Chains A and B, each alone.
Chain A
């Protein structure tokens, strides 16, 4: 079920180097180049929400239309996603949420799949 990436070798390296350079530029921005200068409060506010703004949008289509089932909604994957979120919110522990989510996924696929 593990679908391999269709990318060419050079494209994989382009992702590694592009993402690496972009991330390093962000990290070095103020430390190395801009120096000690206050940021506009509005920009700080927006930056604070970047993980929360990108990751749910990345996950939602994979939960609703998983590629592995040809885009068909899949109860096992939906249940696993729900359990992960609930355990994460209740325990506030990423590792617990991850363990519960993977266990549910394996169990639900075995029972329903």
Chain B
């Protein structure tokens, strides 16, 4: 390992430490719920290995339990991850010159935390070389990904010891509300959230959970429209 890589790798890992307190309980909770819904250990681990995106993994479990059709489950859960296209755009100026296999690895580990930490750090130290940036990026995310898999495994093992009558059906909705409520900071976000919930309830009668997809589209348009309106008003 080149020295430059190792130095920034350690910096990145230190920056990511506060997120350990977040990743471990969520990964474990995913394992517990997956096991409660009848997934095998191998299936739950495959989810965390292949998808590596907590919110969409919970969304897939919720939709499967609600009996949504296969294609709706895949499309809706994938839609939760559309924000990652932004992260991909943001990382391209920094990693665009790396060999393809390195960019492919960067993409695999592009999660909220690695994007947020790296984007902020690269703005502070624009003079860093490609190697130094790669070191920092993988420093932020290798530990978190490893813990994500481990916590999932722990959750499945632990979940089989939980009492049968826990209200598991409602822990996923509570988890989602806990993720989303602290993110509501602006009027545009509040409007998007209200539109999403309102349209989903109003269109719940529609077949194949298709009302949810319409609700998501309406909410995205609402968020963007309110943001533009607010910008114009504030000049």
Binding site for B on A (CB under 8 A): 1-7, 11-20, 22-24, 26-32, 34-36, 39, 42, 44-68, 77, 80-81, 84-89, 91-95, 97-98, 101-102, 105-106, 109
B224 near A97 with CB under 8 A, answer no
A51 near B180 with CB under 8 A, answer yes
1/0 contact string of B38-80 vs chain A (CB within 8 Å): 1100010011001111011101111111110010011011111
A96 to chain B, nearest CB (A): 8
Name the B residues within 8 Å of A98 (CB-CB): 25, 174-175, 178
Chain B interfacial residues counted at CB < 8 A = 101
**A23-B84, A28-B104 known; A57-B39 Cβ under 8 A:** no
Name the B residues within 8 Å of A88 (CB-CB): 177-178, 180-182
**A14-B70, A47-B83 known; A81-B177 Cβ under 8 A:** yes
Asked whether any CB of chain A lies closer than 8 Å to the CB of B154, the reply is no
Asked whether any CB of chain A lies closer than 8 Å to the CB of B216, the reply is yes
16 contacts between A and B (CB under 8 A): A1-B166, A12-B39, A17-B50, A20-B51, A26-B81, A26-B82, A31-B95, A44-B86, A45-B224, A50-B220, A52-B219, A58-B59, A58-B62, A68-B169, A105-B167, A106-B166
Asked whether any CB of chain A lies closer than 8 Å to the CB of B161, the reply is no
Roughly how many angstroms separate A65 CA and B173 CA in the complex, as a whole number? 12
Asked whether any CB of chain A lies closer than 8 Å to the CB of B106, the reply is yes
Roughly how many angstroms separate A49 CA and B165 CA in the complex, as a whole number? 36
Chain A, residue nearest B168 (CB)? A2
Roughly how many angstroms separate A65 CA and B197 CA in the complex, as a whole number? 13
Chain B, residue nearest A93 (CB)? B182
Name the B residues within 8 Å of A93 (CB-CB): 182
A31 near B192 with CB under 8 A, answer no
Asked whether any CB of chain A lies closer than 8 Å to the CB of B123, the reply is no
B89 near A57 with CB under 8 A, answer no
B196 near A29 with CB under 8 A, answer no
20 further contact pairs, Cβ within 8 A, besides A26-B84, A56-B197, A98-B178: A1-B164, A2-B164, A5-B65, A15-B64, A16-B46, A20-B51, A22-B78, A22-B81, A30-B88, A31-B92, A36-B92, A48-B223, A50-B81, A54-B59, A57-B196, A58-B59, A67-B66, A84-B174, A94-B178, A98-B175
